[in-house]
């Protein structure tokens, strides 16, 4: 695999990794020595493939590592070594700001505050939108990615269905009587092997994506439920505040109505002469 890897294109090299994955997983119980044999070349193979690979190629490589880690096919430190081989490749790396997609969502938390201004600043529609936009976009992207999943690739399924019976039935090998026919069948078998290995790898990656999506949805729904509970709690709190303010308003209105109307009091200055001015008081006349 290592020798063939050097002269192949990125997509072809990825197919070799899928083929290795197929052998590694199938040999876990039947022949674990293959898993150990691959360990000695996987770091170099991963580094070589990643060096010329773009993001569309690196993502499936990372998926394979997640599958191997989940199924305990290799030690965690070896998986980390393979991840570093991808990250240390000479191909353009994403900026530090573009971190790996985080598959969990923080719980929506709000600080309790009696001050209206603080509540509005922490729980305004704008802030709520910012906190919920990112996980929503990630979910939409994950769902869109699954639209082009391997299980929906009718063209590849048709190719597999169209494979000649000779590549699937060992008993038919007896019909081969000359070297040319054997060479032709050998080439067909190699192509079928690569096709099936690649498709199996894509299906395994799709399965991993669907598991991740299921976890994302579960966590996202949980965060939305907690956010809803917080909103309901705040709504009830402000309903009580509204009731208290309404009661104060009602009492104030009643109190105002009970006050005497000063306009109805008698005119105490009516009929009396006006008071003398200061000049009149000190006049010598």
pLDDT digits (tens, 9 = 90+) for 214-259: 988 999 899 999 999 999 999 999 999 999 999 999 999 998 888 8
39's tokens: 């360990």
Model confidence at 204, in pLDDT bands (50, 70, 90)? confident
Q: CA dihedral in degrees (112, 113, 117, 119; nearest 10)?
A: 10
pLDDT number for residue 239: 96
131's tokens: 């906190």
Q: Rounded to an integer, what distance in angstroms lies between the CA atom of residue 154 and that of residue 150? A: 9
Tell me the domain boundaries of the chain: 2-87, 134-232
The residue with tokens 């894509």 is 202
pLDDT tens digit sequence for 98-116: 444 444 444 444 444 444 4
Rounded to whole angstroms, what are the CA distances from 208 to 36, 75, 113, 116, 138? 24, 19, 42, 46, 16
**CA count, 13 A, side-chain hemisphere, 16:** 20
H/E segment holding residue 141: helix 125-146
Q: Rounded to an integer, what distance in angstroms lies between the CA atom of residue 220 and that of residue 248? A: 42
**Per-residue DSSP letters for 8-37?**
S-HHHHHHHHHHHHHHHHHHHHH-THHHHH
CB 1 within 8 A of CB 19: yes
Above 50 in pLDDT, residue 213? yes
Specify the fold of 2-87. Answer: 1.25.40
Judge if pTM exceeds 0.75.
no
H/E segment holding residue 202: helix 179-258
Q: Rounded to an integer, what distance in angstroms lies between the CA atom of residue 41 and that of residue 270? A: 115
Contacts of 14 (CB under 8 A, 6+ apart): 49, 53, 57, 60, 61, 198, 201
Rounded to whole angstroms, what are the CA distances from 171 to 47, 104, 160, 175? 40, 51, 20, 8
Nearest to 24 by CA among 33, 11, 14: 33
Q: Rounded to an integer, what distance in angstroms lies between the CA atom of residue 108 and that of residue 134? A: 13
pLDDT tens digit sequence for 15-50: 888 888 888 877 776 667 778 888 888 988 888 888
């Amino acid at each position: 695999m290592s020798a063939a890897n050097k002269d192949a294109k990125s997509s072809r090299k990825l197919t070799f990794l899928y083929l290795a994955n197929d052998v590694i997983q199938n040999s876990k119980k039947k022949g674990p020595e293959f898993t150990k044999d691959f360990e000695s070349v996987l770091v170099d193979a991963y580094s070589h493939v990643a060096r010329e690979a773009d993001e569309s190629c690196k993502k499936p490589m990372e998926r394979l590592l997640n599958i191997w880690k989940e199924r305990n096919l290799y030690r965690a430190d070896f998986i980390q070594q393979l991840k570093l081989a991808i990250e240390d490749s000479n191909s353009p790396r994403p900026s530090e700001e573009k971190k790996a997609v985080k598959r969990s969502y923080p719980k929506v938390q709000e600080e309790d505050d009696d001050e209206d201004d603080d509540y509005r600043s922490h729980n305004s529609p704008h802030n709520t939108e910012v906190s919920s936009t990112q996980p929503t976009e990630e979910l939409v992207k994950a769902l869109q990615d699954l639209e082009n999943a391997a299980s929906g690739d009718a063209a590849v399924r048709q190719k597999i269905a169209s494979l000649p019976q000779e590549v699937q039935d060992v008993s038919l090998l007896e019909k081969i009587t000359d070297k040319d026919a054997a060479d032709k069948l050998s080439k067909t078998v190699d192509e079928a092997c690569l096709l099936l290995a690649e498709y199996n790898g894509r299906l395994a990656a799709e399965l991993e994506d669907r598991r991740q999506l299921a976890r994302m949805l579960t966590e996202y729904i949980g965060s939305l439920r907690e956010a809803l509970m917080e909103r309901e709690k705040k709504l009830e709190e402000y309903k009580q505040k509204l009731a208290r303010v309404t009661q104060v308003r009602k009492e104030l209105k009643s109190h105002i109505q009970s006050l005497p109307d000063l306009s109805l009091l008698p005119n105490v200055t009516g009929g009396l002469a006006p008071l003398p001015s200061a000049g009149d008081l000190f006049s010598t006349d």
